Amino acid sequence: MNLNRRNFLVGTGAFAAPLVMGGCCGCFKANEKINVGVVGIGRISTTMDIPKTICHTDLCRFTAVCDLDSKRLVHGVRFIKEQYRKLTGEANAPVKAYSDYRDMMADPTIDAVMICIPDHWHALVAVEALLAGKHIWLQKPFAQTVKEGRIIAEVARRKGLVVQVGSWQRSVYQFMLVCELVQAGRIGEVKRVEVGVGLDKAGGSSAVEPVPENLNYDMWLGPTDEKAPYNWTRVHDQDLKKIGNRPGWIQMAPYGWGMITNWGAHHLDIAQWGLGKDDSGPEGVSGTCEWMDTSGGRLWNVHTTYDLHYSYNGGKTDLHLCNKFPCGVKFIGEKGDWLYCMRGAAKVTPSDPDTPSNGKMKPLMASKNKLLEPIAGSKITPQCGSQDHFTNWLEAIKAGDPSLTVTNAEIAQRSSTACCLGQMCMELGRGKKDGASLKWCPAKEDTCCKEAQKMLKPFARGEYDLAKTFKRFGQDLPPALKG
């Protein structure tokens, strides 16, 4: 398995002709720095994305921030200046501030953007950035619907721009090792994969509150229903001291789909990688879930417990996603041998909920220790670390080579599709005792289920509409937007 250089796959629904290059892909001189802008000054950008990237002062320079909450925007400027004070001793590093991402993308001095915003916004900002010629770091899950993801991947391919998605487990030793061993046949044919993605708890409040003056709430709602009443638990905490806390939207449809896309974008990504499904996916999903109790004025509405079966390889491989499994990914072979991988810590950020049974499992385990022996000549060592995911993005940009990122757009689209299919299956099974069964054609990225087909479509409202973005850039609509 080639872990450093991946083929940049041509996906389904490809546009007929490549677009004219709009960015500065491939034209960085040896000592020239990548100018980076950040969209979204929230939990993940301030606790992970900015700190882990800005420290590469030899490769990049953070020059701009964008947020639709002016309090957070001001904080973002301060945060970057503070980082440079610590890193380079600069007293007052210049940082531009944008309240509208479209203005940031129009700035020709910015080469690359980190997109660290809620999931319902990913596609609109990613497509805007790519059409404006910027390389992107896009947080997971890649997209909120299957077609949104397909559109992002196609634009990235046509523009020849670098995409790295925040599913950083692909750059971490135990996940790399287990996937390499599974792909090399260490446990024989994989019969089952057991995946746990943790469990959300009900909460939030539906009490209507006045919208803070500093928040552009209509824009925050973006392509979703503009009538959704404001309560801070739908959005994010207004106390800057709590910027590192889990935001409410992450357990509130349609802004997030819950753990299925939240941790699913990490663990289903690893499961697909181990199964060698980076360019395809499951042929069907069936099963059921329970939904959050919204009585008593509680707001959050995504799934809680889940029990889903994904079918791969014509039904020969069963991926079982269930909240009863320890958080992580366990590949089980034809003779019962197994390999298991999980993070060192059971949480992404300190504010994430606890995950079940983690105490019993170590980050890297096998049914027999011998199964963990590295393959001769393998480049995977315990020194491989999550920091590499960020370096990998910057180095791919410097090299002007989209195939270098370990979680490129095509791979992320396939993993994100697996998450979306799980969400669709749970939604279609709402109120049905045995849940739903959903057939899927990975080659066509389509289903014969009419109800599910509607759920594949991109979100759109008013100006927050991908079709309008393409028109603004004078570009034809991609096939996924026409259907």
| CA 151 – CA 122 distance, rounded (Å) | 11
Q: Which of 25, 54, 67, 346 binds ligand NAD (CB under 6 A)?
A: 67
In this structure, the strands spanning 34-39 and 60-66 are parallel
| CA 53 – CA 390 distance, rounded (Å) | 6
> DSSP string covering 216-279, please?
-HHHHHTTS-TTPPP-GGGS--S-GGGTTSPPGGGGSTTT---HHHHTHHHHHHHHHHHTT-TT
- Measured between its terminal Cα atoms, the distance across the chain in Å is 36
Q: Is 257 in the site for ligand NAD (CB under 6 A)?
A: no
**Helix (H/G/I), strand (E/B), else coil: 309:** strand
**141 cis-preceded (ω within 30 degrees of 0):** yes
Structure tokens at 179: 């996937």
Q: Shortest distance, CB of residue 164 to ligand NAD, whole angstroms?
A: 11
Q: Shortest distance, CB of residue 98 to ligand NAD, whole angstroms?
A: 8
- Closer by beta carbon to ligand NAD, 44 or else 271: 44
Identify the H or E element spanning 291. Answer: strand 284-291
**Helix (H/G/I), strand (E/B), else coil: 280:** coil
* Torsion-angle region of 131 (φ positive above 0: left; ψ -120 to 50: alpha; else: beta): alpha
Q: Which of 23, 37, 118, 435 binds ligand NAD (CB under 6 A)?
A: 118
Q: Is 60 in the site for ligand NAD (CB under 6 A)?
A: no
CB 54 within 8 A of CB 60: yes
Q: Which of 121, 173, 338, 440 binds ligand NAD (CB under 6 A)?
A: 121
- Closer by beta carbon to ligand NAD, 101 or else 440: 101
Q: Is 278 in the site for ligand NAD (CB under 6 A)?
A: no
Q: Is 429 in the site for ligand NAD (CB under 6 A)?
A: no
Identify the H or E element spanning 306. Answer: strand 303-312
- Closer by beta carbon to ligand NAD, 1 or else 219: 219
- Closer by beta carbon to ligand NAD, 25 or else 329: 329
Q: Shortest distance, CB of residue 472 to ligand NAD, whole angstroms?
A: 16
Q: Shortest distance, CB of residue 391 to ligand NAD, whole angstroms?
A: 16
Q: Is 327 in the site for ligand NAD (CB under 6 A)?
A: no
For 347, what's the count of Cα atoms within 13 Å in the CB-facing half-sphere? Answer: 10
Q: Is 105 in the site for ligand NAD (CB under 6 A)?
A: no
Identify the H or E element spanning 71. Answer: helix 70-88
Contacts with ligand NAD, 217-256, as mask; x by CB under 6 A: --xx-x-------------x----------x---------
**223 cis-preceded (ω within 30 degrees of 0):** no
Q: Which stretch binds ligand NAD (CB under 6 A): 62-70, 268-276, 420-428, 448-456?
A: 62-70
Size of the site for ligand NAD (CB under 6 A): 31
- Backbone torsions φ then ψ of 192, nearest 5 degrees: -140, 150
- Backbone torsions φ then ψ of 453, nearest 5 degrees: -55, -35
For 190, what's the count of Cα atoms within 13 Å in the CB-facing half-sphere? Answer: 32
Structure tokens at 88: 């380079």
Q: Shortest distance, CB of residue 396 to ligand NAD, whole angstroms?
A: 18
Contacts with ligand NAD, 164-183, as mask; x by CB under 6 A: --x-x---------------
Q: Which stretch binds ligand NAD (CB under 6 A): 52-60, 111-119, 417-425, 475-483?
A: 111-119
Report the 10 Å Cβ neighbour count for 27. Answer: 10
- Closer by beta carbon to ligand NAD, 317 or else 416: 416
Q: Is 119 in the site for ligand NAD (CB under 6 A)?
A: yes
Ranked by CB distance to ligand NAD, the top (closest) residue is 42
Which parts of 297-326 interact with ligand NAD (CB under 6 A)? Answer: none
Closest CA relative to residue 405, chosen from 414, 387, 392, 391: 392
- Closer by beta carbon to ligand NAD, 119 or else 194: 119
Contacts with ligand NAD, 338-377, as mask; x by CB under 6 A: ----------xx----------------------------
Contacts with ligand NAD, 14-43, as mask; x by CB under 6 A: -------------------------xxxxx
Q: Which stretch binds ligand NAD (CB under 6 A): 65-73, 281-289, 324-332, 339-347?
A: 65-73
Q: Using CB under 6 A as the criterion, which residues of the chain lie in contact with ligand NAD when the complex forms? A: 39-45, 66-69, 72, 101, 116-119, 121, 125, 139-140, 166, 168, 219-220, 222, 236, 247, 262, 348-349
